[in-house]
Chains A and B, each alone.
Chain A
Amino acid sequence: DQQVKQNSPSLSVQEGRISILNCDYTNSMFDYFLWYKKYPAEGPTFLISISSIKDKNEDGRFTVFLNKSAKHLSLHIVPSQPGDSAVYFCAASEGFGGAQKLVFGQGTRLTINP
């Protein structure tokens, strides 16, 4: 059963506009939510995270919003740039034996058009 879901496999946005990537989860015990970015032939790189006790976190062009009642989070990128074209994964963390396990969504391929 998929605990973290990204229902849009792909998204295409014009350069300079806002990109909004969405993610839904089912487990209310998750501690943190994270977004990762992945280019082809590279490992994912961390982008931004949010604690389950917050509803917004901002870092430059990137903002993550968390709606706990809806079990939904979103990543906003403003303004979108061509270098933002990549696959974006949302992930949720849960504690296990001293480590934080991550559960990932399926990913959304973002394409920024010039």
Chain B
Amino acid sequence: DVKVTQSSRYLVKRTGEKVFLECVQDMDHENMFWYRQDPGLGLRLIYFSYDVKMKEKGDIPEGYSVSREKKERFSLILESASTNQTSMYLCASSVGTDGEQYFGPGTRLTVT
């Protein structure tokens, strides 16, 4: 069974703080993804990585950066958190050619 874990289920941060969200997968998947989920907007892709040290912007990368130093770990960084970054953050990994992705449980981030 593929397992994708995220470092926190719930996080509360203050405006301007630097925030790190960590994701680890245990199935040696090449590809990893970060999404945010907001009501009425579905899941939107922030960044993804198809190899170690490789990263590509998704649809909404502004205000975020990522790091992938090891194959199993993909970190999302909010350089200076703002209230409009309050959201559910979901990490996923994949290896297949059909796009099937395996998701972690999510981190609900609140920025006050």
Contact surface of A with B, Cβ cutoff 8 Å:
4, 6, 9, 31-32, 34, 36, 41-46, 49, 51, 89, 91, 93, 96-107
- Give complex CA distance A97, B41 in Å: 26
Beta-carbon contact of B99 and A97 below 8 Å: no
B50-74 interface code vs A (CB 8 A; 1 in, 0 out) = 1100101011000000000000000
Beta-carbon contact of B31 and A49 below 8 Å: no
Beta-carbon contact of A106 and B41 below 8 Å: yes
- Give complex CA distance A97, B3 in Å: 24
- Give complex CA distance A44, B40 in Å: 16
Contact surface of B with A, Cβ cutoff 8 Å:
4, 9, 30-31, 33, 35, 40-45, 48, 50-51, 54, 56, 58-59, 90, 92, 94, 96-106
List 9 A-B pairs, minimum CB-CB distance, nearest first. A93-B99, A43-B103, A100-B99, A99-B50, A99-B31, A104-B43, A104-B42, A106-B42, A98-B50
Beta-carbon contact of B42 and A105 below 8 Å: yes
Beta-carbon contact of A41 and B99 below 8 Å: no
How close is A87's CB to chain B, nearest CB, in angstroms? 9
How close is A53's CB to chain B, nearest CB, in angstroms? 12
How close is B38's CB to chain A, nearest CB, in angstroms? 10
Beta-carbon contact of A44 and B43 below 8 Å: yes
How close is B18's CB to chain A, nearest CB, in angstroms? 25
Beta-carbon contact of A34 and B100 below 8 Å: yes
Please name all residues of chain A whose beta carbon is closer than 8 Å to the beta carbon of B96 when the two chains form the complex. Answer: 100
Please name all residues of chain B whose beta carbon is closer than 8 Å to the beta carbon of A104 when the two chains form the complex. Answer: 35, 42-44
- Give complex CA distance A45, B102 in Å: 7
Q: Kindly report which residue of chain B lies nearest to residue A106, judged by CB atoms.
A: B42
- Give complex CA distance A56, B104 in Å: 29
